[in-house]
Amino acid sequence: MVRFLIKRLSLLIPTLLGVVTLVFFMIALSPGDPARVMLGERANKQQLETLRAELGLDQPLGTQYGLYLKRMVRFDFGKSIKTGRPVMEEISNLYPATIELAFFAMIFAATIGIIIGVLSATRKNTWIDFTSMVGALFGVSMPVFWLALVLIMIFSVGLDLLPTGSRMNVRYYFESITNFYVIDAIILLIREGDPKYLSSAVKHLILPSVALGTIPLAIIARVTRSSMLEVLTQDYIKTARSAGIKESRVVYRYALKNALLPVITIIGLQFGLLLSGAILTETIFAWPGLGKWLYHAIEARDYPAVQGGVIIISTTFVLINLVVDILYTLVNPKIRLQ
C-alpha cells in the first residue's frame, strides 16, 4: 500500500509541472501585448512599462518562465488587474463556495445515480429499466441553464419553496468562519443552538446542486447499470445465488462492490468537471464562486487572475484523480497487490 501511494505521489510533480508550464506558455505566446490587453488602448507608455515590469514581461521568455515557477511554488499569482487584490486571496474567499456547491451536487448525483443504476440492472428489460434509462438520456441531453431556469420557475416563483439564488438569507447577519457556509452554520448551531443558518444554507444549496448534478447523475446511472449487468453474469455471482445467499446480499455485497471501479472513475472525473464547469450554474443562481469569478477575469483579460484560477482548478483535478486511485485500492485489493 505504501509503495502504491509513493508511486502515485511521485507522478504528481511532473503532472503539475506540465499543467503550470502549459498555462504559462498559452498566455505568454498568445497574440498581442498582454499589458496592452489588460490596461486597454488608452493606457500610456508609463503605465504599460510599469505593468510589464511588475509582471516580468520586460524579461526574456526563459527568465519569465523561471520567475513564474518560483512564484507558483509559493502559490503567488500576483495581484488582480481588475480589483488590485492578491489573486490567491480572492481565490481563497471564492473557491470554498464552488467546492461546497460541487460537493453537494456530486452527493446528489452519486447517490441517486447509483441507486437508479442498480435498480435498472437488477430489473433489466422491465418498465423500471426503460424509464430509468430514458430519464438518464433526458438528463444528459438537458442544458444546465435551461434546467436551472425551470427549477427556479417551479420551486421559487411558482411554489415559493426555495430561494432563487445566493448562499444565505440576506436578512441574517452571518459572519463566515471557513467560507464553507454549511460548516459555518453547523458551528453556529453548536454554539448558539439556532438552526436558522443551517436551514438557510441548505435551502440555498438545493436548486443549484440539483441543476449542476443532473448531468453527472445520468452518466453515473448509465455506467452503474452497464457495470452491474457485466458483473451479474460472472460465475461467482451464480455460485453465490446457487448457495442460497439472499439476493439483496448478492447484489449489494458482492456485485455492487466489484461494479464500483468504473463508477468511481466517473465520479472522480465528473467532480473535477463540476469544479471547473459551474460557471453557468453560479451565474444563474448568483452563486459567488470561482467559476463566475474566472469567467469575469477572462472577460476583463485579467491574466494573473486567469493563471491563478486555471492552476488551482487543474491542481484540484489532479488531486481528485489521486484520491480516485487510492479508492481503487480500497474497493479492489488486487490493484494494491499489483
pLDDT value at residue 191: 83
Mean pLDDT of the chain: 81
Let me know: does 105 contact 208? Beta carbons within 8 Å: yes
Is the domain of 319 the same as that of 187?
Answer: yes
Domain stop point among 43, 73, 103: 73
Asked if 300 and 166 sit in the same domain, the reply is: yes
Whole-angstrom CA distances from 321 to 37, 44, 324 are 35, 46, 5
Number of domains making up the chain: 2
Q: How far is CA 186 from CA 136, 176, 208, in A?
A: 34, 11, 20
- The answer, yes or no, to whether residue 105 has pLDDT greater than 80, is yes
Is the same domain home to 23 and 111? no
The model's confidence at residue 276, banded by pLDDT at 50, 70 and 90, is low
User: Please, which contacts does 49-55 make with residues 24 or more away whose CB atoms are closer than 8 Å?
Assistant: 51/81, 54/78, 55/303, 55/304
Segments forming the whole domain that contains residue 69: 2-73
- Start-to-end CA distance of the chain, whole Å, equals 10
81 is a domain residue: no
Give the residue, 74 or 4, on which the prediction is more confident.
74
Same domain membership, residue 320 and residue 239: yes
* pLDDT tier, 254 (very low <50, low <70, confident <90, very high otherwise): confident
Contact present, 137 and 221 (Cβ < 8 Å): no
Together in a domain, 112 and 242: yes
Does residue 88 form part of some domain?
Answer: no
What's the rounded Cα separation, in Å, for the pair 251 and 237? 9
pTM for this one? 0.82
Question: Looking at the structure, do residues 169 and 292 belong to the same domain, yes or no?
Answer: yes
Closest CA to 323 of 3, 12, 17: 12
Minimal CA–CA distance to 55: which of 307, 314, 294, 293? 307
155 and 300, same structural domain? yes
* Confidence label for 332 from pLDDT (cuts 50, 70 and 90): low
- Residue 84 domain-assigned? no
Q: What's the confidence (pLDDT) of residue 310?
A: 83
Cβ atoms of residues 218 and 134 within 8 Å: no
Instruction: Mark whether 165 and 304 lie in a shared domain.
Output: yes
Residues 283-308: what's their mean pLDDT? 81
Instruction: Give the highest mean pLDDT range of 70-79, 86-95, 316-325.
Output: 86-95
Please tell me whether residues 47 and 130 are part of one structural domain: no
pLDDT, greater one: 184 or 324: 184
Does residue 178 share a domain with residue 144? Answer: yes
For residues 130 and 208, membership in a common domain is answered with: yes
- Quick one: what percent of the chain has pLDDT higher than 70? 92
In a domain, 86, yes or no: no
* CATH number where 114 lies: 1.10.3720.10
User: Which neighbouring-strand residues pair with 79?
Assistant: 86
Are 241 and 161 within one domain? yes
Q: Under DSSP, is residue 31 helix (H, G, I), strand (E, B) or coil?
A: coil
- Please indicate, yes or no, if residue 90 is contained in any of the structural domains: no
pLDDT above 70 (res 59) = yes
Distance from the Cα of residue 219 to its chain's centroid? 15
pLDDT at residue 264 greater than cutoff 60: yes
* Residue 79 in domain: no
Does 42 map to a domain? Answer: yes
In a domain, 83, yes or no: no
| Confidence grade of residue 189 (pLDDT, cut at 50, 70, 90) | confident
pLDDT at 165 over 60: yes
